[in-house]
Each structure stands twice: as structure tokens, then as C-alpha cells.
């Protein structure tokens, strides 16, 4: 069967990465702005994380909705609509009179609108590749990490110079002016092959892993939430943590950019690993590496060591989110990719939202981030347990199918 990959597939991937880098600004601008917003509204740490939490919930819900719409209408219409909504949300948020209104605007506009730039773009990318699908999906997810490299220093500088409100207006105008023209490159819709490496029916999914499609999707969703509760603690609280240690928010923004920069490099490495060993083994490997990296924050809190540990954490966690997209494409039909991949990846954002709030609440109660780190490690272990169990079932089913085939022959 001829490959579905063409030069246009790679052009489309490149444009998707740029769009994701721009559109995922909401994941990181609110993190960098957290100290300024907390001071402006005179709020406790847990309440100050509410805008980010609601924005991530918006990303989750919006990703699922856009994924379903993309299956039916293609990625362009929901992507353009989401871009407009997100850009207007940034402009409106600059006039928020209190933290509650600001948080609602972040969730309804920045979250829901920006969602089209993340999971649905990853799902769309998976439909244009077969021979290099693992690498392509990893690169597509790298846009959110690149956003973490590009945006934090820019946002931090703009907030210091102009305040967080004017910075939000600038972000909204910039995204509107750049993302709408770029999205036109995604006008063409994929021609789905009738036979794909993905499962062609619910029965194929059950034969591959021994579970119903609903149970498989549910376990992957639970695993995704668990790993991202752990992932959120350093990603969301690193900037304000550095402020607490006396290093300043600017240092924290630099560490966050370094973490996400190494995360981009990690996506390249794990893209090759995904092509080599498949989705579930890569998920287990990445999760184990993340647990180890997260534990390194406990004994090390010096300035230089935090830079190093942040880089290690970025390298460790880069393969986790792409794994879910590849697992879905290995088990489910291409015609359901938009919804199922978006659902799997978007639910990981629920873990980010829950984890960021939990870390803030634990800090408010204990005055330390050490218990929050331990909490994250526990959730990470739960993710590893699910991944290991699913991988064991998959391998057992494979052995049984091969033995049955050998007996018949």
C-alpha cells in the first residue's frame, strides 16, 4: 500500500507547530503572570492559580469539542473560530475588575479558544503520516513546549515594563494577526485510507488489548490525568517558587523556558523511540523518567541546581503526551482520530488543572512545596501502574494470538 506521506504532510506539520506555539500561549502566560495577578488582586496562592486552572479546564473541554468538529468539518473552521475567541479573551481579560471575573474570562475564552491549537492539531497531524507517525506526532506536540520556551521570557519582560494588563492586550492582538493567515495552510482535508494500522472496529481493539474501546479510552484518560498532576507542579509553580526562594520571578521564567526547551529536544528523541518500540512502552519509559526527575526537586533548591534539575525534568517528560496519541492511533480507526486523540490528550490537561490547584492548596496549608512534590510523585506512580498493566495485557494478547495462529497453521 502506498504511503500517505507527501511533502505537503511535512509542510503542514511545520505550520501546525507554529500555530501551536502561538496558540498555546495561554498555558504559559498565566503561569508567568501569576505573581503579578496575585499581587494585583491580593489573593492567596491557591486562589491565584484559579485563572490557570479554569483555562486548562477550558483547554480540555474545548479540545474534545474541536476534535469532534474536526472529524466532521476539517481542522480549519474550528481552528479559526478558536483563534478569534482566544484573542478576544486576552483583550477582555485586561479589564477584569477582580480575580473571579479574570478567572472566568480565562476559562471561557483563552482556554476554550486556545484548545484548537493543541490536541486537535496533533490529531490532524496523525492523519497525514504513516511511516513516520511517531516522530510527526511528537513534533506536533512540541508546539506546546516551544510556547513554553518562547512566551515566558517575553511575557515576563512585558509585564515588568508595561504590567500584566497591557501585556494581555498585546498577546491578543499578536495572535489574531498571525494565526488566522497561517491557518489557511490547513485548508486541505486528508484522504483517509480504508485500511490503516489503526483498529478498524471495536472488535479489533478488544483483540489487541483485551478490553472494550470505552474501557481502553477510560484507562488512558485516567493515566493521562495522573501523569499530568505530577507534571504540573514544576511547570506551574516554578516561577513563583523561585520568588519564594529569593531568586526572583525572572529566574523562574528562565528555568521554565529551559525546561520546555529541553522538552522540545526530548520530543525529537521520543519521536524516534515511539517509531521503534510503540506507544505503551514509550509511555511507561517516559513516566518512570518523569518520576525520577520530579524527585530531584526535593533535595536540590540552589539556583544552579534548579536550572539543572529543570533541564533534566524537561528531557524526562517530553515523550509522555505524544505516547497517548500514538496509542490511540494504534488501537482505533483513523475516522475517529480527531475525537479520540483530542479526548486522550485533552484529559491530560485536567491533570494539569488539578495538579496546579493541589500544589497551591498544599503550599497554603504547609508553607512548603516539598509535600506538593511528594503528592505529584504518588500520582506519577499511579500512571506507571496503569501503563505497565496495559502493556502487560497487550503483550499477553499478542502471545496468545501468535500461538493460536501457529496452531492453526
Residue 301 DSSP class: -
Q: How far apart are CA 387 and CA 31, in angstroms?
A: 29
Nearest alpha carbon to residue 293 among 305, 282, 279, 302: 305
The phi, psi pair for 107, rounded to 5°, reads -70, -45
Tell me if 242 sits within 8 A of 248, measured CB to CB. yes
Q: What is the pLDDT of residue 205?
A: 59
Q: If you write DSSP's letter for every residue of 14-57 in order, what string do you get?
A: HHHHHHHHHHTHHHHHHHHTHHHHHHHHT--HHHHTHHHHHHHH
pLDDT tens by residue, 92-133: 999 999 999 999 999 999 999 999 898 889 889 988 988 888
* Residues in the chain with pLDDT values less than 50: 194-200
Q: How far apart are CA 14 and CA 12, in angstroms?
A: 5
Q: What is the pLDDT of residue 199?
A: 43
Residue 118 DSSP class: S
Nine cell digits for residue 294: 520530579
126: left (phi over 0), alpha (psi -120 to 50) or beta: alpha
3-class DSSP state of 299: coil
The pTM is what?
0.75
Sorted by where each starts, the structural domains of the chain and their CATH numbers stand as 7-188+198-404 (1.20.1250.20)
Number of other residues whose CB lies within 10 A of the CB of residue 153: 15
- Residue showing cell 491557518: 183
Q: How far apart are CA 296 and CA 313, in angstroms?
A: 9
pLDDT tens by residue, 159-200: 999 999 999 999 999 999 999 999 999 998 887 654 444 444
**What's the residue count for the chain?**
409
Q: What is the pLDDT of residue 196?
A: 43
Nine cell digits for residue 25: 500561549
Which residues 6+ apart lie within 8 Å of 84 measured at CB? 113, 176, 180
Nine cell digits for residue 225: 490525568
User: Which value, in Å, is the radius of gyration of the alpha carbons in the chain?
Assistant: 21
Nearest alpha carbon to residue 377 among 264, 267, 288, 266: 288
Element spanning 74, H or E: none
- Alpha helix stretches (DSSP H) within 163-248: 164-183, 202-209, 213-244
Tell me if 284 sits within 8 A of 380, measured CB to CB. no
Cβ burial 19-56 (10 Å sphere, 16+ → b, else e)? bbbbbbbbbbbbbbbbbbbbebbebebbbbbbbbbbbb
Alpha-carbon distances, residue 192 vs 72, 153, 337 (angstroms): 13, 41, 11
Nine cell digits for residue 351: 491533570
Q: What is the pLDDT of residue 1?
A: 62
Tell me if 379 sits within 8 A of 356, measured CB to CB. no
Handedness of CA 78, 83, 86, 89 (dihedral sign): negative
Amino acid at each position: 500500500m502506498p504511503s500517505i506521506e507527501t511533502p505537503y504532510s511535512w509542510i503542514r506539520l511545520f505550520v501546525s507547530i507554529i500555530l501551536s506555539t502561538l496558540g498555546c500561549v495561554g498555558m504559559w502566560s498565566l503561569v508567568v503572570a501569576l505573581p503579578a495577578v496575585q499581587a494585583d488582586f491580593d489573593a492567596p496562592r491557591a486562589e491565584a492559580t484559579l485563572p490557570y486552572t479554569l483555562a486548562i479546564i477550558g483547554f480540555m473541554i474545548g479540545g474534545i469539542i474541536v476534535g469532534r468538529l474536526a472529524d466532521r468539518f476539517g481542522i480549519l473552521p474550528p481552528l479559526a473560530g478558536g483563534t478569534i475567541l482566544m484573542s478576544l479573551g486576552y483583550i477582555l481579560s485586561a479589564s477584569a475588575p477582580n480575580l473571579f471575573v479574570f478567572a472566568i474570562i480565562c476559562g471561557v475564552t483563552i482556554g476554550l479558544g486556545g484548545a484548537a491549537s493543541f490536541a486537535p492539531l496533533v490529531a490532524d497531524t496523525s492523519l497525514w503520516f504513516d511511516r513516520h507517525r511517531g516522530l510527526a506526532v511528537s513534533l506536533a506536540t512540541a508546539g506546546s513546549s516551544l510556547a513554553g520556551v518562547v512566551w515566558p521570557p517575553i511575557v515576563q519582560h512585558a509585564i515588568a515594563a508595561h504590567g500584566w494588563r497591557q501585556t494581555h492586550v498585546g498577546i491578543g492582538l499578536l495572535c489574531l494577526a498571525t494565526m488566522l493567515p497561517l491557518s489557511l495552510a490547513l485548508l486541505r482535508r486528508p484522504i483517509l485510507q480504508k485500511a490503516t494500522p489503526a483498529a478498524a472496529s471495536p472488535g479489533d481493539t478488544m483483540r489487541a488489548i483485551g478490553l472494550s474501546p470505552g474501557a481502553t479510552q477510560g484507562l488512558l484518560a485516567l493515566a493521562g490525568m495522573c501523569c499530568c498532576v505530577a507534571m504540573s507542579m514544576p511547570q506551574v509553580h516554578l516561577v513563583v517558587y523561585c520568588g519564594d526562594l529569593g531568586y526572583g520571578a525572572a529566574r523562574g521564567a528562565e528555568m521554565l523556558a529551559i525546561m520546555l526547551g529541553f522538552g522540545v529536544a526530548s520530543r525529537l528523541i521520543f519521536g524516534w523511540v515511539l517509531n521503534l518500540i510503540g506507544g505503551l512502552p514509550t509511555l511507561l519509559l517516559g513516566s518512570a523518567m518523569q518520576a525520577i526527575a520530579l524527585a530531584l526537586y526535593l533535595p536540590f533548591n540552589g539556583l544552579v541546581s534548579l536550572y539543572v534539575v529543570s533541564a533534566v525534568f524537561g528531557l524526562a517528560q517530553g515523550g509522555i503526551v505524544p505516547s497517548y496519541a500514538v496509542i490511540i492511533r494504534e488501537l482505533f480507526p483513523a475516522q475517529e482520530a480527531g475525537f479520540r486523540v483530542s479526548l486522550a490528550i485533552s484529559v491530560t490537561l485536567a491533570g494539569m488543572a488539578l495538579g496546579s490547584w493541589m500544589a497551591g492548596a498544599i503550599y497554603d496549608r504547609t508553607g512548603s512545596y516539598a509535600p506538593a512534590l511528594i503528592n505529584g510523585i504518588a500520582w506519577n506512580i499511579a500512571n506507571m501502574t496503569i501503563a505497565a498493566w496495559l502493556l502487560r495485557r497487550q503483550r499477553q494478547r499478542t502471545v496468545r494470538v501468535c500461538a493460536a495462529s501457529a496452531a492453526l497453521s
